[in-house]
C-alpha cells in the first residue's frame, strides 16, 4: 500500500483512518477488511478497492430533510454540504451482520450519535429504513477519494442535535424548494456538495421525498444502482 504523509491533516480525523472498513466485490459480497485510510486512497481505488458505506436521510415531522456541511477537518470532501450522515460500517461482529442490513443500520445509529450527537435511544436500528444501494466512485483530490456501495437509509423522526464541530461545520433542515436552491448554487460553484449527494439528489431523492409515507414501494434490496 502507498505511504502517504498525514502530518498536515487533522489529528482526530487521522486517528479515524485506522478504522477497519468492510471490503466488498462489485456485488456487495464481503471479501475482507482494510483500513479507512487504504480504502480512501485513489491509488488503491484505481486498482478496484471497494468498501461498504451508507447514507442517511433524516426527515423531521414537517418532512424537512436534515443536511450537514462537512467540517474543514474532514479528509475527503471538506466544507461540502451533504445529506444527514454518510459513513461506513466497520469490520466488527455487530456491523458485519447482513440480515436485513442490520449491521449497516447499527453503524448508522453509531455515526448519527458521533457526528450529530443524536442520542442512541432516539434513533434505533429498527427505525432506520433500508431502501436500496448505489455504487459510485469519486475523487476528492489527487490523493483521497471514495469508491463505495452505499446503503440508502431513511429516518423519519424529530431528534435532538449536538453536532461534533470536528465532523460538522453547520447543519440545517430544508424543504424541497430550499434544497433545489442549494443544488442550483452548487451548479454555479457558489457552494460545494458531495458527489454522492449530488448523484442521489439528481436521480432518486425527490421521488422518494414525495412518498415518505409510501416508501415500501421503492424498496429494492436486489439491484445495486451503478452511478
Catalytic, out of 115, 146, 148, 167: 148
Question: Known catalytic residue: 148?
Answer: yes
Mean pLDDT of the chain: 94
pLDDT tens-place string over residues 65-76: 999 999 998 888
> In which band, very low, low, confident or very high, does the pLDDT at 81 lie, cut at 50, 70 and 90?
very high
pTM, to two decimals: 0.93
Indicate whether 14 pLDDT > 90.
no
pLDDT tens-place string over residues 173-192: 999 999 999 999 999 999 99
| For range 139-163, the mean pLDDT | 95
Our CA angle for 39, 44, 45, nearest 5°, is: 75
Question: Known catalytic residue: 86?
Answer: yes
* Range scoring the smallest mean pLDDT among 10-14, 128-132, 221-225: 10-14
Q: Is-contact 42 145, C-beta < 8 A?
A: yes
Specify the pLDDT at position 88.
96
Catalytic, out of 86, 95, 115, 167: 86
pLDDT tens-place string over residues 30-65: 999 999 999 999 999 999 999 999 999 999 999 999
Q: What percentage of the chain carries pLDDT values higher than 70?
A: 93
Specify the pLDDT at position 111.
97
Grid coordinates standing for 100?
Answer: 436485513
Indicate whether 1 pLDDT > 60.
no
Amino acid at each position: 500500500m502507498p505511504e502517504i504523509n498525514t502530518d498536515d491533516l487533522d489529528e482526530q480525523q487521522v486517528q479515524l483512518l485506522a478504522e477497519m472498513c468492510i471490503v466488498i466485490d462489485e456485488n456487495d459480497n464481503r471479501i475482507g477488511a482494510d483500513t479507512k485510510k487504504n480504502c480512501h486512497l485513489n491509488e488503491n481505488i484505481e486498482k478496484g478497492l471497494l468498501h461498504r458505506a451508507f447514507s442517511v436521510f433524516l426527515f423531521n415531522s414537517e418532512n424537512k430533510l436534515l443536511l450537514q456541511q462537512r467540517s474543514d477537518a474532514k479528509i475527503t470532501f471538506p466544507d461540502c454540504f451533504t445529506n444527514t450522515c454518510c459513513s461506513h460500517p466497520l469490520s466488527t461482529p455487530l456491523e458485519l451482520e447482513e440480515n436485513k442490513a442490520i449491521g449497516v443500520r447499527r453503524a448508522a445509529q453509531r455515526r448519527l450519535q458521533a457526528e450529530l450527537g443524536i442520542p442512541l435511544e432516539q434513533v434505533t436500528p429498527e427505525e432506520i429504513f433500508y431502501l436500496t444501494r448505489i455504487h459510485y466512485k469519486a475523487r476528492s483530490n489527487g490523493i483521497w477519494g471514495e469508491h463505495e456501495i452505499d446503503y440508502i437509509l431513511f429516518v423519519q423522526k424529530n431528534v435532538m442535535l449536538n453536532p461534533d464541530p470536528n465532523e460538522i461545520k453547520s447543519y440545517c433542515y430544508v424543504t424541497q424548494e430550499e434544497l433545489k436552491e442549494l443544488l442550483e448554487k452548487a451548479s454555479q460553484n457558489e457552494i460545494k456538495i458531495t458527489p454522492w449527494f449530488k448523484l442521489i439528489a439528481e436521480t432518486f431523492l425527490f421521488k422518494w421525498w414525495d412518498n415518505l409515507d409510501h416508501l415500501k414501494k421503492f424498496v429494492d434490496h436486489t439491484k445495486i444502482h451503478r452511478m
